[in-house]
Amino acid sequence: MRRLTDGSKLVVASHNPGKVWEINQLLVPYGLNAVSAGDLGLSEPEETETTFQGNARLKAITAAEGSGLPSLADDSGLEIDCLDGAPGIYSARWAGPGKDFGVAMKKVADEISLRNAWGPPAPRANFISVLCLAWPDGETQIFEGKVFGHLVWPPRGGNGFGYDPMFVPEGATRTFGEMEPADKYAISHRTRAFAAFKAAMLDHLKPVEAGEAPAPGRDFAALSAAAASLSTRLEAASFLAHLKTDLKVNSAEWANVTLADYLDALEMQLKNVPATDEPAWRQMAKAMLAASVKG
């Protein structure tokens, strides 16, 4: 089986900032040089397959052929027992063109109500992640992870993204949206799929030494991923709390640290933001982040 080597450059075949950031966090300890398909200007293929495995393979092969580099793609979603596995491969499409998962979660809740399936017991569901590693010559490997649990309504918590605020994993009382990122990643479907990927593709590599101090300064990539992925009021509130902490810790890297300067910059950002069908909370979060670095 072909494996990745030290310093390999790898394309993360996604334009979803939250997903790209999550996968990059898993790759960083192995010193891989990861770049997203969006950063390379690669187009996203239409997801025409009928399975998670098929769509992951389609995205990975497209990015590998377009970049000439090995590519890692993820196809993931929520499968609900009482909805016969829906939304499944259509999980992102239930969020509409603006990827508004507040809309998607409401649609899930309504569909469960139509079937009188809110219980007790609570509706059973699982998240699934399928990773595909593709090489430019067309060779592929598939890795899969699942996490089982139940759904709640209304959604709870402002962390995570997608359907996280309505999913409680087995053995837990908090939703993925209420968990701190480290707690979620320890048990998430994507982490479990990555564990299979790691065992096959990375275990021969020497990880970066544990305990090395992280680079000082703002984690702007994490903030950008959070702003670009949120859909709900609670997620916006959580983002604002992280932005306040960032100002306290990294004020030297902010362009506008006084309230007056920051509000002037925020006003400018909101005036100049292009028309979009994204959720209003997401547009505001992006503007708030941009106002920290621009006048």
How many CB atoms lie under 10 A from the CB of residue 217? Answer: 10
Active-site residue, 75 included: yes
Over residues 99-117, the mean pLDDT reads 96
Catalytic residue among 6, 39, 74, 75: 75
**For the chain, which domains are there?**
9-201 (3.90.950.10), 220-291 (no CATH)
* pTM to 2 decimal places: 0.85
pLDDT in tens, 51-64: 999 999 999 999 99
Higher pLDDT among residues 78 and 201, named by residue: 78
pLDDT in tens, 225-284: 889 888 999 999 999 999 999 999 999 999 999 999 999 999 999 998 887 888 999 999
Phi, psi of 40 (to 5 degrees): -85, -5
Q: Which residues contact 248 (CB under 8 A, 6 or more apart)?
A: none
Residue 246 labelled as part of a binding site: no
Give the closest residue to 198 by CA, choosing from 24, 8, 30.
30
Residue 19 labelled as part of a binding site: yes
Residue 126 labelled as part of a binding site: no
Residue 256 labelled as part of a binding site: no
Give the closest residue to 38 by CA, choosing from 71, 86, 7.
71
